């Protein structure tokens, strides 16, 4: 095998997962960040070529990484390294030493829950003449009401809205599109935002549905900041310390929990959230896989 520099191997791998595997930009950024951490560590040990990396080097890196990170983060790093070596093995015939790295056992942490009362307070507009508040709540309303990932919300464009039909088309992981119905409240607020707020802000003629007052595309960090401020302002959490574990993803989790508690067909929950398996849906709910599987089987005409 030819000598391949680590940074070159990483670049080729990231190009592969983007152009061939159709991974999202968020995945690309995540994988790139983690592989560059590995590269920096190896370079400090004067290892510059993938051919020279040993299994002991990988074990040492993972050991140090695990010391400073949660088990789930370590497992993600291991998964990224495994994917990288799968690529190197397939395309450059490099021995797949990463197969010897086992994932760590991690206890599942209970997610913080925003109950129905908290959601109601969060999404109640105190002053409808305050266009900033109206816009903020509309964004949170769409994330919650449609079960969106924050990246799906910030990436939403005007051609994905079908307001006459009361639906939106969302491009999720793997560039898969799903159609999600809008509640009456979500549709009403979205129309008001589009008619009376967005035109005032859209100085740059963007196609993004959600933009800032300065006329720039909405960024995910702004959604995090806005949600946490509103949780504090509305008295839903007592102090900034209580915000730990709460994020825009908590709204998606809250919708899934609400739907399951209302005995919604698990297939519908899967479709709304864009999950491929019933086991993934279980992560966002408080039902066991067995309970969800039983409900799924009861709904299926064929076993």
**Residue written as tokens 């190896």?**
42
Specify burial of residue 297 (Cβ count, 10 A radius: 0-12, 13-18, 19+): exposed
92 is catalytic: no
76 is catalytic: no
> What ranges make up the beta strands (E) of 172-289?
177-181
Dmax (CA) of the chain = 67
Count CB neighbours of 194 within 10 A: 15
- 200: which residues sit within 8 A by CB, 6+ positions away? 131
258 is catalytic: no
- Annotate 200-223 with DSSP letters as a single string: HH-TT---BSSB-TTS-B--HHHH
**Which residue in 216, 249, 258, 267 is the catalytic one?**
249
Count CB neighbours of 241 within 10 A: 7
- 3-state SS assignment for residue 2: coil
Distance CA 8, CA 1 (A): 15
230 is catalytic: no
**Which residue in 39, 189, 275, 287 is the catalytic one?**
275
- Which residues are 49's β-sheet partners? 5
Distance CA 62, CA 101 (A): 9
**Which residue in 23, 149, 198, 253 is the catalytic one?**
149
**CA-based nearest residue to 168, from 134, 150, 197, 145:** 145
**Which residue in 187, 189, 252, 253 is the catalytic one?**
252
**Which residue in 104, 173, 192, 228 is the catalytic one?**
173
Distance CA 214, CA 222 (A): 13
Give the sign of the dihedral formed by CA 58, CA 14, CA 220, CA 37. Answer: positive
Query: Which residues are annotated as catalytic?
Result: 149, 173, 249, 252, 275, 284
């Amino acid at each position: 095998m030819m000598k391949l520099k680590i940074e070159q191997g990483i670049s080729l791998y990231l190009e592969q997962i983007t152009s061939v595997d159709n991974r999202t930009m968020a995945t690309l950024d995540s994988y790139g960040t983690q592989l560059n951490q590995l590269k920096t560590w190896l370079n400090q040990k004067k290892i510059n070529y993938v051919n020279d990396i040993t299994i002991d080097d990988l074990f040492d890196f993972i050991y140090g990484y695990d010391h400073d990170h949660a088990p789930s983060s370590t497992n993600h790093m291991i998964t990224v390294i495994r994917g990288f070596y799968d690529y190197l093995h397939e395309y450059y015939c490099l021995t797949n030493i990463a197969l010897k790295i086992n994932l760590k056992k991690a206890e599942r942490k209970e997610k913080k829950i925003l109950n129905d009362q908290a959601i109601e307070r969060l999404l109640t507009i105190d002053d409808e003449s305050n266009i900033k508040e109206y816009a903020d709540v509309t964004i949170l309303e769409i994330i919650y009401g449609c079960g969106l990932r924050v990246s799906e919300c910030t990436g939403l464009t005007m051609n994905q809205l079908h307001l006459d039909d009361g639906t939106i088309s969302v491009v999720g992981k793997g560039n898969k599109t799903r159609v999600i119905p809008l509640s009456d409240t979500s549709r009403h607020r979205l129309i008001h935002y589009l008619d009376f707020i967005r035109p005032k802000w859209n100085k740059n003629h963007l196609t993004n549905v959600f933009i800032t007052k300065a006329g720039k595309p909405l960024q995910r960090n702004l959604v995090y900041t806005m949600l946490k401020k509103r949780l504090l302002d509305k008295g839903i959490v007592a102090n900034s310390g209580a915000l730990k574990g709460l994020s825009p993803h908590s709204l998606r989790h809250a919708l899934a929990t609400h739907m399951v508690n209302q005995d919604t067909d698990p297939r519908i929950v899967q479709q709304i959230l864009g999950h491929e398996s019933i086991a993934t849906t279980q992560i966002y709910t408080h039902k066991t896989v067995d309970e969800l599987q039983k409900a799924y089987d009861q709904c299926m005409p064929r076993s």
